[in-house]
A and B are shown apart, each in its own frame.
Chain A
Amino acid sequence: MWNLLEIRRRYDLRIYLFIVVVFSLLLLLLGRMVQLQWIQYKKHFTQSEDNRIHISPVYPTRGVMLDRNGLGLAVNEVSYKVTLIPERVENLDETLAALQTLMGWDDQKISKLKKQIKKTRADRASLLMDQLPWEAVAPLAARLHHFSGVDVVAGTHRYYPDAEQTSHVVGYLSLVRDVDIKEGYLHMEYVGRSGLERILESRLHGELGYKHEEVDAKGRRVALLKTVAPKMGENVQLSIDAALQKIASKALGKRTGAVVVMDVHTGEVLVLLSKPGYDTNKFITGLDTVQWNEWLNNIEKPLLNRVTQAAYPPGSTIKMATSFAGLAKGVALANGSTQCEGYVELADRKIRCWKKEGHGKVDLHDALVHSCDVFYYELGDALGMGALSSEARRWGFGEKTGINLPPESRGILPKERPSERRKKWYRGETMITAIGQGEITVTPLQMARFAAAIANGGLILRPLLEKGEPTDVVKKLDVPEEHLQKIKQGMRDVVASQTGTAYYALSRAHWTVAGKTGTAQVVMMADDEERTFSDARKHQDHAWFMGYAPFEKPEIAFAVFVEHGGHGGSSAAPVARAVVDAWADKQEAVN
């Protein structure tokens, strides 16, 4: 194998070849040097010595977000910035000191600016102050010749006209951070941080332009060589109706909660309101830590989007799902009736109906209208946890709605079996699940979609946030028309019947409403404990009202949720009334 001479010869040859390669590569480099330093010398010399080329970015205008009627939700307002290009400044300390006197900045700001300027590339503008007050523009502009390298630049800043009400859907921007710059953003740019500002960042942002300027050694502009105009970001029209959102917000008042209104046919979301909101404009002017911490630690969690990110026990609003399950499985009770004595006995305990003295003889229709718990305890008991849970899943609970506003909560549905250790659910657990308590939570958005699905005959839609987006049917449920009619009539009589739980709030609404109240217990009582209300707000029940309108020819579906709001009928239903009335009046006015 080892032919010594042959191997040695090959080794030598290849090293000689290596030497040849080394010199060829150097020759190649030499050729390039001759080209740069000899042939193109004149061109490069002029560019470097007398006049230099300064390339600076031209920022695109960010696309605006409009509501469905063209009202601005996120717009751009003209404003002035003070910028500084480090390499054009003759004496940074002096310049900053002079600016400090003129502008009245404090020492803290100056030291912060110095740090920032040190990080900025010498030939790039560094932002000294955004949204310069109008009174300050003229005095500074008049003295600019004293400050070489400093400039007052006209630009735009983001403004959210309905910041508090739309904070959770529109989101906000803030100034670039170091990580963004590594991803290709430039200094002085704003980046979407939350809500649609973040989700739609790539569409809203637009494309940077740039200009090649010839500048002399002192940095003065001699000529504009070339500009590539920036491409403005896309304007996005949302499905949100700002006026309706405002009315919902007003109806909810200072209470904590959520309102969702959806078009039952297209899935477009008209209202997506989570209260309390927060003033997103503060992110643009520069948020201080005090304010940020206040929002973070506020017990009402203003930063939380209650429509999509929070899940709550649905209470009685889940009873339609329980009813559908009963009807579909042909449980005798679903088509029969039972006697409500105000409680059911289970072993040695009593599980109570909300009405202590009982509802008497109730069938499915009565049970919906009066929200009788005992009927549903028995129906749930007959169905079992598996059937309850899978019916709820069929109607879109326990999974994300797919709205383009992540992150989104799935909510919780009970599993077939509770855990490895326990073989099955206790009967009591199944029974309270049938009335929307226990191990089940849903988001207000899921709830509105549920109402829409009942109204449109079983279409589970993906909620859409952009106007005119093609409707996206997640699934079409196969629900017998007869079952649907039964439930719908029950929901109608919740409002229309004098004994219905939402009669007072909604019977006189401008459109015929069908819906269901829900009062979800926050603290589970012992099974036979008297229902007592604690004064503490955190122990108050959550109030729900969900439904659709008009009853005969549904157009909108909604879910109103009031955190610790008390009774669904008295607390949540009036908010629905305000929204339905406003929308109905508007539609009537158009037609």
Chain B
Amino acid sequence: MDTLRRMDQVLLFCLLGLAGIGMATLYAAVHVGDLAIWYKQGVYWFVGLTAFFTLCFIPLRVIGLMVWPVYLFALLALALVPILGEVQMGARRWLDLGAFNIQPSELMKWALMLLLAYWFSMREASSLRNLSVAVLCSVLPAALIVVQPDLGTALVLLFAAMSMILVAGFPWKWFGGMLAVSPIALYILWQNMHDYQKTRVLSFLNPESDPLGAGYHVIQSSIAIGSGGIFGKGYLEGSQSRLHFLPEQHTDFIFAVFAEEGGLIATVALFLLYGTFITRILIIALRAHSRFAGLVCVGIASIFCLYVFVNIGMVSGILPVVGVPLPFVSYGGSALLSMLVALGLVMRVAIESEGQVSWQRPSSPLS
């Protein structure tokens, strides 16, 4: 009970707010069609919150012990995907574990964040030797994800890893150098992209060029968002989404439903909520009692930040279409579960750091 009382109130408030918005929006998206989706998401929330509260009771030093095993398991699962994976939508991403499917790339995101936090808890990202392991551990899974092929997830992974490394003390001048060579890297990437990925990028740059294919999503979702106006059409009143104009409106494109019905006022409110949520995780990182605990929060914050930005960016047509969920709002069991587990870790950091001085000296994560 003492543990629960020491939970971070602001973070909990944000989570409950997002849960409410998520379930309400999902209902709006599916209420004329398949309500079973909504009930299922309710079950996922129940399972996820159970995991969240369980994580609140697991000491961080135990988590520290699990970092390498979890990472290696995720890596092995990723490596097995091309051999055993299920083909869905032309790509092998899922692994069938009998009773349920897992998406190893989803697990890998969180595993890598933990690993980097662990690695840099005793080191700074300022020497090549310290960096090499971190870079290798990031690039290897990213390469495995690229060949699935799932370029979007690989990029999210790399961006999250990069922000981690930056916070861990990566020298600015090296960062500048990397920015300078990035055009070359982008060129190589383009050369190696699948045709459907190129089409997506091109149709993002000019949605009109392919109005039947990839551009369709963006055109339709932009219309839906824009038609919401400042005050929105009202809850359950969105015409675009109701008439099934929106593709995948309950998963990746759910933001369009929200923005159409809620208008600019609601989107601003949602942005503030997400901003508070992520900032709060970072504040917990500042107050953390160990460098490991802090970096764990930073890694998780960077993934949430990327999810929010990439998802809303793509739905509103300023980023290419990449399969990334809107945290706590998009439908989907495994994404929700992993996000709640991650948030449980953050909450544990908050609980353990409550009343302690934040770290002053580099310490072993196990101390």
Contacts and interface: CB of A to CB of B under 8 A. Distances in A.
B243 interface: yes
B86 interface: no
Contacts of A33: 225, 259, 264, 267-268, 316
A19 B282 contact: yes
Contacts of B279: 19, 22-23
A28 B247 CA distance: 24
Give the most central of A10, A22, A40, A87: most B CB within 10 Å.
A22
Interface in B242-291: 243-245, 247, 259-260, 263-264, 267-268, 271, 274-275, 278-279, 282, 285-286, 291
Interface stretch (B12-20, B210-218, B348-356): B210-218
A123 B312 CA distance: 24
Contacts of A38: 229-230, 264
A223 B205 CA distance: 28
A182 interface: yes
Contact of B282 (A15, A32, A41, A44): A15
Contacts of B89: 182
Contact of A40 (B212, B226, B260, B286): B226
Interface stretch (A47-55, A340-348, A557-565, A571-579): A47-55
Contacts of B275: 22-23, 26
A4 B361 contact: yes
Contacts, number: 141
B239 interface: yes
Interface string A45-80: 101110011010100000000000000000000000
B312 A11 contact: no
Interface of B: 89-90, 124, 163, 166-167, 169, 196, 211-213, 216, 222-230, 239-240, 243-245, 247, 259-260, 263-264, 267-268, 271, 274-275, 278-279, 282, 285-286, 291, 294, 298, 301-302, 305, 308-309, 312-313, 316-318, 359-362
Give the most central of B163, B167, B247, B317: most A CB within 10 Å.
B167
A210 interface: yes
Contact of A37 (B225, B243, B360): B225
Given A18-B167, A18-B282, A49-B239, A37 B124 contact: no
A7 B121 CA distance: 11
B274 A26 contact: yes
A210 B212 contact: yes
B244 A122 contact: yes
Shortest Cβ-Cβ A-B pairs, 4 listed = A44-B226, A48-B227, A36-B226, A122-B244
A74 B260 CA distance: 50
A186 B229 contact: no
Main secondary structure of the interface of B (DSSP, over half): helix
Size bracket, chain A contacts: 35 or more
A430 B227 CA distance: 83
Contacts of B286: 12, 15
Nearest to B306: A25
23 contacts: A7-B124, A10-B124, A14-B166, A15-B167, A15-B286, A18-B167, A18-B301, A19-B279, A22-B278, A23-B279, A26-B271, A28-B318, A29-B312, A29-B316, A37-B267, A41-B230, A44-B224, A44-B225, A45-B227, A45-B229, A48-B226, A52-B243, A122-B243
A37 B264 contact: yes
B226 A37 contact: yes
